[in-house]
Amino acid sequence: MAVSAPLNTNVKTSGNGQNYTFALTTLTSLFFMWGFLTCLNDILIPHLKSVFDLNYTQVMLIQFCFFFAYFVVSIPSGKFIEKIGYQRGIVIGLTTAGIGTLMFYPAAGMRSYPLFLAALFVLAAGITILQVAANPYVAILGKSKTASSRLNLTQAFNSLGTTIAPYFGSLLILSVVVKTADEMKGMLPSDVETYKAAEAAAVQNPYIGLAAVLFVIAAIFAFIKLPKIEAASVSSSDGSGASYDEKHKSAWGYKHLVFGAIGIFVYVGAEVSIGSFLVNYLGQPFIAGLKEAEAGKYVSFYWGGAMIGRFLGSYVQRIVKPGTVLGVNAFVAATLVIVTMLTTGSIAMWSVLIIGLFNSIMFPTIFTLAIDGLGKHTGQGSGILCMAIVGGAIIPVIQGAIADSIGIHHAFILPVVCYLFIAYYGFKGHIPSYAK
């Protein structure tokens, strides 16, 4: 999933006119990494579900622990980075994420689900710090009028990470067939231990490799020189330097922001829920009957659609109003979810995978519409929107409970409700009260 921490585009840099190609290229690697790490959860879910014999509600605690970190860490990390600086914040974020990935080694070796959940929380905390620190850098590396273009580019690389991760994880993690306790009863003790070691290594080796990459990138950012950032006055979206509406004492007074926060909450929740269930869903006999390793590869189509949609959406929004594009995309996504619930076979399979294409522009569009016209409250509004990412923690657990109750096929009714609210926000709910 491509998500964005509170973004302060009103910053100055020393040395205007410098060539920041190297810095921007290096920063782009961060967007790729956290997209890759986030999307690996979709592969961990079916693997750990089999290893620990979990129901859907229990296994969705993976996403709960991961995305709950955004709710807990976002605001404190913003204040922390203000004190230590953005570049040091990037280093600390990378290091924290590296520690989280290292924790997967003992978690797999001890076959401890609680330790896996703790590792995911630490990993997500590092990614949150990383996002809060990295986004402002991207905004200032060049002319202000092309800041949006640069952010779209880096988010496209984020989507590249989410596209590659499922295929990578399927080959290295889901390729190991998990045996139940009953299946291992007839095995010799030595064979059982050998099998458990191979099962643990399927998780340990990839995450040890990722930890090494994170630490190397952290070392690079500790030594390279990046532009210094200093706070500047907050300006409104029309560049006038004043708020459109001065009667509100805080960002909470803006109805379109509050609706936008709900939109972020349900969007992240819907996107994560669908991605989390895909491997198990495609494995159902009445859908595709795919083995986990093969189904995991198809998850790349879901996230790859988001990458393609970002490029297309960037062009379309130059012609059509962003609210209209958002509303149409959300309505089509809701329709596709309904189609997959009412059909079986290849139609159900591809209708759910194509949803990724229409998810693509939702987060940045909701985010932009929600902070429009907040003036001096823009920073607070951005923090509220970032905290709303906790929807990725809560909605998958609710859908897991629904799946345990009525089955995985019709549990997708929850994302339908989410997308319908987003459609309302795109067509009407985003319009500020002072603009009506």
> What CA–CA distance (Å, rounded) separates 281 from 257?
35
Regarding beta strands 229-231 and 11-13, do their DSSP bridges make them parallel or antiparallel, or are they unpaired? antiparallel
Whether residue 230 has pLDDT greater than 70: no
What number of other Cβ atoms are within 10 A of residue 283's Cβ? 18
- Alpha helices (H) along 228-361: 255-282, 292-316, 322-342, 345-353, 355-359
> What CA–CA distance (Å, rounded) separates 26 from 263?
31
Least confident of 127-131, 375-379, 416-420: 375-379
> What CA–CA distance (Å, rounded) separates 323 from 280?
34
Q: Widest CA span of the chain, in angstroms?
A: 75
Q: Which of 186, 178, 159, 107 is nearest to 300 (CA)?
A: 159
Whether residue 3 has pLDDT greater than 50: no
Residue that wins the pLDDT comparison between 225 and 265: 265
Whether residue 12 has pLDDT greater than 50: no
Q: For 108-124, write each residue's pLDDT tens digit.
A: 888 889 999 999 999 99
211: pLDDT confidence band, cut at 50, 70 and 90?
very high
Residue 18, SS3?
Answer: coil
pLDDT of residue 234: 39
Q: Which of 178, 270, 245, 290 is nearest to 431 (CA)?
A: 245
pLDDT of residue 196: 63
Residues with Cβ within 8 Å of 188's Cβ and at least 6 positions away in sequence, in order, are none
pTM above 0.85, yes or no: no
Measure the CA angle with vertex 347, ends 346 and 352; round to 5°. Answer: 100
242: pLDDT confidence band, cut at 50, 70 and 90?
very low
Least confident of 11-20, 209-218, 245-254, 324-333: 11-20
Residue 61, SS3?
Answer: helix
Q: Which of 206, 202, 288 is nearest to 39 (CA)?
A: 206
pLDDT of residue 140: 59
Average confidence (pLDDT) over 272-279:
91
Whether residue 383 has pLDDT greater than 80: no
pLDDT of residue 9: 41
pLDDT of residue 188: 59
Determine contact, residues 339/347, Cβ cutoff 8 Å. Answer: yes
Determine contact, residues 321/194, Cβ cutoff 8 Å. Answer: no
Q: What is the DSSP letter of 375?
A: G
Residue 421, SS3?
Answer: helix
Domain 11-435 has CATH 1.25.60.10: no
Measure the CA angle with vertex 190, ends 185 and 196; round to 5°. Answer: 70
Q: Which of 364, 369, 362, 363 is nearest to 430 (CA)?
A: 369
Whether residue 303 has pLDDT greater than 50: yes
Average confidence (pLDDT) over 292-300:
86
Q: Which of 132, 408, 405, 385 is nearest to 268 (CA)?
A: 385
> What CA–CA distance (Å, rounded) separates 176 from 195?
9
Whether residue 297 has pLDDT greater than 80: yes
Determine contact, residues 365/429, Cβ cutoff 8 Å. Answer: no
pLDDT of residue 18: 59
Whether residue 291 has pLDDT greater than 80: yes
> What CA–CA distance (Å, rounded) separates 361 from 323?
11
Residue that wins the pLDDT comparison between 145 and 208: 208
Number of separate helices (H) and strands (E) present in the chain: 19, 2
Each domain of the chain, given as residue ranges in start order, spans: 11-435
